[in-house]
Copies of this chain bind each other. A is one copy, B any other.
Amino acid sequence: MLRLYDNHLSGNGYKPRLLLAHLGSAYEAVEVDIMKGESRTPEFLARNPNGRVPVLELDDGTCIAESNAILHFLAEGSRFLPTDRLSRALILQWMFFEQYSHEPFIAVARHWICHTGMSEAQRAQLPGKHEGGHAALAVMEGHLCRSDWFVGTGMTIADIALYAYTHVADEGGFDLAGYPAVRDWLVRVRQQPGHVPM
């Protein structure tokens, strides 16, 4: 059976959890207590030398790290990852956007505010995190004004990747009032049959 090393607070971990629910795939969830250093033990680092959750372990012990790579692996052959070359490229475009221009701002601000308490240095960086996060939300708003989904005519793993931290952006101090198309899209994702909350 698939095994998912994960932390229940992690939006990156929520991505494969949400996709696995949509796929109806059984898996064993293994909670990793990041705050207690469980993602830095020799056993965990053997699974992901980069020391981060989530990690997907296959039946033969092979491990796949990086939430969006896990999504891509799991979605292969399903409606959440179309087969045509251009759609796949655009899905990856939005997933790399998520990891480079969205997560480091919105997820990190949420993590500092909700989970770790802020150091002085982090407090000084928070306005920059909010500026970067709002820039990402503005890019999403512009796209979602013209399209119900990020790629094509149905929900794909690009939507799942971007939903994970956008739907809890308020916990990072982001007000979504100025992004009506993003808010409508969040409702569309949540209303898909098979949806599970974080």
Asked if A66 CB lies within 8 Å of chain B CBs, one says yes
CA distance A101 to B67 in the complex (A): 13
Contact yes or no, A92 B72, CB < 8 A:
yes
Q: How often does this chain occur in the complex, in copies? A: 2
A49 at the B interface (CB under 8 A): yes
Q: Is A112 an interface residue (CB 8 A)?
A: no
CA distance in complex: A66, B88 (Å): 13
Chain B residues with CB under 8 A of A50: 97, 101, 139
Please report the C-alpha to C-alpha distance between residue A58 and residue B90 in the assembled complex, in whole angstroms: 13
Q: Are B93 and A96 in contact (CB under 8 A)?
A: no
Q: Does A26 make an interface contact (CB < 8 A)? A: no
A64 on the interface (CB 8 Å rule)? yes
A69 engages B49 (CB within 8 Å): no
Verify B85–A76 contact, CB threshold 8 A. yes
Q: Does A10 contact B (CB under 8 A)?
A: no
A106 to B169, CA, bound (A): 28
Tell me which residues across on chain B come within 8 A of A92, comparing CB atoms: 66, 68-69, 72-73, 92
A143 within 8 A of B: yes
A73-B85 in contact given A65-B93, A66-B93, A143-B49 (Cβ < 8 Å): yes
12 pairs from A and B in contact (CB 8 Å cutoff): A49-B139, A50-B101, A64-B86, A64-B93, A65-B93, A66-B96, A66-B100, A69-B95, A70-B89, A73-B85, A76-B85, A99-B99
